[in-house]
Structure formats: C-alpha cells, structure tokens
Amino acid sequence: MRRALALVLLAAAAGAQSARESSVGIPARITDLVLPGTELEVLPQTAKTPVVLRIARVARHGSDFRYDLEWTGLDPGTHDLRAFLRRKDGTDLSDLPEIQVETHSVLPAGQVLPSPPQGGAVPRFGGYRAWIVGLGLAWAAGLAWILWTFRTKRVAFVEATRPRTLAERLRPLVESALRGTLGEAERAQLELSLVAYWRRRLGLDAQRPDAALAALRAHPEAGPLLNGLDAWLYRPAGPDPVDLARLLAPYQDLPEDALDEFGGVRNGRPAPAGGR
C-alpha cells in the first residue's frame, strides 16, 4: 500500500516537473501544487510581464492550499512564479517556496526575429495587383460586349422600322433591266409610271407627250434612268459598271408608294396602272 502511494506521488512530481518547461507562447499547467500559508492570487499584469499567470483552480489542503497554475512564458529563460503572486490578506510571501519554470526559445540563440524567407521562383501571375488588373479587363470586356450588342440590336430595330424608299423598291427592277431579264411589258409599264410621275413633278402635263418625253430625257434627274431603261431593252449593260446609286439618287428621299397612282411597282414588279 505504501509502495503504491509512493509511486503515485513520484508520478505527480514528474508531471509537475514536466509542466514547468515550455516554449515561448505555449501554455503549460502545473496541477495539484500545495503551497503553505493563506490563499494566493495573481498580481495585475502588464504588457511587459515576462510570464502570463492564471490560477485555474484552488482548494483547501489542511491548513494550506492546493493550486492548479496555468502559465505562458513570453520571454525565454528561467522565471520564479512567486514574483507574479500575492496573498489575498496582504501578508508576506517569506514562507513560500520557489516555483521555478523555464521557457525555451524556438529561435537560434541571439536571434530575436524570424528567419528571412528563402529565395525561389515567384509565379508570374498572382497577387492583389494582378487580380485587380484581370478583373478590370474582364469588366471592360463585358461592358464593351453589352454596348456592342445594344447598338447592334438598336440598328437592326431602326432598319426594321424605317419606311422603305422608292429607290429601294426600284433597285431590283433596275438590276433586272441591267441583266436583260426584265420583260418588255414590265419595262414599258415602269417607264410609263416614271414619265407620268416626272411630268407632274416638273409641271409638263400641258405639253404634248413627245415634247414632254424629250424634256424628261434631257432632264438631269429624270433622264438617266429613263434613257437607261430604253437602252437596256435592246442591249443589256456591258462590262462597264453602272452607278446604281447615281441612277436612283432622285428617288432616295421619296416614299415607296410615290408611283402607285401611276401604275407603280408592287413587291419589286410593275403593278397594273390604276391598281394598288
């Protein structure tokens, strides 16, 4: 029985001894430490205190007290925990034994700062600045895509809702005449519609038809298309390109139904006179 009790006391002593050593910043705990005299408490601590001490548990042990002390060394070296204690009743600590603890440094002797990082290859892409630049480029690309899509849709909408002009209605007929595929009757109907339109526009209704036609063929706006239609009937346009834009320029600002009352064109073909 006595032998078993001795072994328990030796184990407790060994545990208490091992708990009195630690590394800087690593907490350690001394348990079941019996100290004589009245109850102890921890002194107020400051930022310069080399050891942070806390009484985790205290209990009566006969006329003495049993303590569990938790301590953390902030400076390497040997420290006496008595320097951080006082009695609650204000009496002195002359009868208190030493409570030595040792704090080990994990840095080499004389070194107070961490070792500098070793040199090595640094990734080419990375870091806060690279991420900011990348996000900025992605945002700019997204904004450009949104603006381009909006502009494209807007242009398409404007084109779809814009009224057609007479020039746009005449273009397929003129192209057909240039290729020699426009029938004689279709050409004649188109030519009569153009003559009737220009006679009214230029105030030539009172003139004889042959005189009015001669005046129209000599007119700088009416003449080019009328003369071309007459020539292409017997001889399609040769290899020299024909400036359709110049031929159709007088009709560019006219509504597409400007010739309807003179026979006009319907769906790219001449319409019967007087019909719509």
pLDDT value at residue 211: 85
Above 70 in pLDDT, residue 12? no
Above 80 in pLDDT, residue 105? yes
Contact status, residue 226 vs residue 195, Cβ threshold 8 Å: yes
Tell me the per-residue pLDDT of 72-102, one tens digit each, with 9 for 90 and over: 999 899 999 999 999 999 999 889 999 999 9
pLDDT value at residue 237: 56
Tracing tokens 């560019």 back to the chain, one arrives at: 252
Show Cβ contacts of residue 195 under 8 Å, excluding neighbours closer than 6 positions.
Answer: 212, 213, 216, 226
State CA 256 to chain mean position distance: 47
- pLDDT, mean of residues 152-166: 68
For the chain, the domains span: 2-104, 166-270
Contact status, residue 104 vs residue 77, Cβ threshold 8 Å: no
Tell me the per-residue pLDDT of 221-244, one tens digit each, with 9 for 90 and over: 888 887 777 777 666 655 567 787
**Residue 7 pLDDT class (50, 70, 90 cuts):** very low
Measured CA to CA, the distance from residue 124 to residue 165 in angstroms comes to 60
pLDDT value at residue 103: 92
**According to CATH, what is the number of the domain 2-104?**
2.60.40
pLDDT value at residue 263: 61
Above 50 in pLDDT, residue 53? yes
Specify the pTM.
0.37
Q: In this predicted structure, which of 49-53, 122-126, 252-256 has the lowest mean pLDDT?
A: 122-126
pLDDT value at residue 264: 57
10 Å CB burial of residue 253 (0-12, 13-18, 19+) is exposed
